[in-house]
Amino acid sequence: MTTSLAEHYSEILVGVGENPEREGLLDTPKRAAKAMQYLCNGYTMSLEELINGALFESQNDEMVIVRDIELYSLCEHHMLPFIGKAHVAYIPTGRVLGLSKVARVVDMFARRLQIQENLTKQIADAIQHITDAAGVAVVIEAKHMCMMMRGVGKQNSVMTSSVMLGAFRESSSTRHEFLQLIGRQG
């Protein structure tokens, strides 16, 4: 942990009218700095290290879906959390990706300051790059604390974003099958 990050959190406490020397806040700058480093550790990861060769030969050319991958990210505009789930699908062309690696790709990009639209695209592009799939589809559904805790204060709004590549973009029946399998109307 960098000392300067903790010092910045101490300044934030003063800036909001708190006393960083108060008993309950004595270690808060260090804890907040450690938490922020963890929440943004996606910057320290590379796709190649993350995948670590977990591609396996397969004759399967049917859709592979990993649903309901929980994700936690920070909005780059307010640095407040958005929380939701990602649904990721791809159509293999001779190789499949280790199951846990799909969730790890989601985490790698989610653990960066983000907007949901870019997060969705980054995941889709990464899965496409890794697998050379015939198509990739990603749908993310998330609640944004910047909408819930401040601003318009809408507690029940959910943002949905999607990216469809290859066969999912070109074939309405493939796209429809994916959307049905993740429980969305096609």
Does residue 59 have an active-site annotation?
Answer: no
Catalytic residue (choose from 7, 40, 146, 176): 146
75 is catalytic: yes
40 labelled as ligand-binding? no
Which listed residue (8, 18, 37, 78) is catalytic? 78
The question of whether 40 is a catalytic residue gets the answer no
Cα 78 from Cα 59, distance rounded (Å): 45
Cα gap 134→93, rounded to integer Å: 6
* Residue of 77, 117, 129, 180 with catalytic role: 77
- C-alpha–C-alpha distance, residues 135 and 140, integer Å: 17
From the list 128, 141, 144, 177, the catalytic residue is 144
| CA-closest candidate to residue 116, choices 88, 89, 77, 148 | 77
Whether 62 is a known active-site residue: answer no
Q: Is 176 flagged in the annotation as binding?
A: no
Catalytic residue among 114, 116, 122, 128: 116
Does the annotation mark 87 as catalytic?
A: no
The CB density around residue 121, as the number of other CB atoms within 10 Å, is: 16
Catalytic machinery residues: 75-78, 116, 144, 146
Q: Which residues are annotated as a binding site?
A: 75, 78, 146
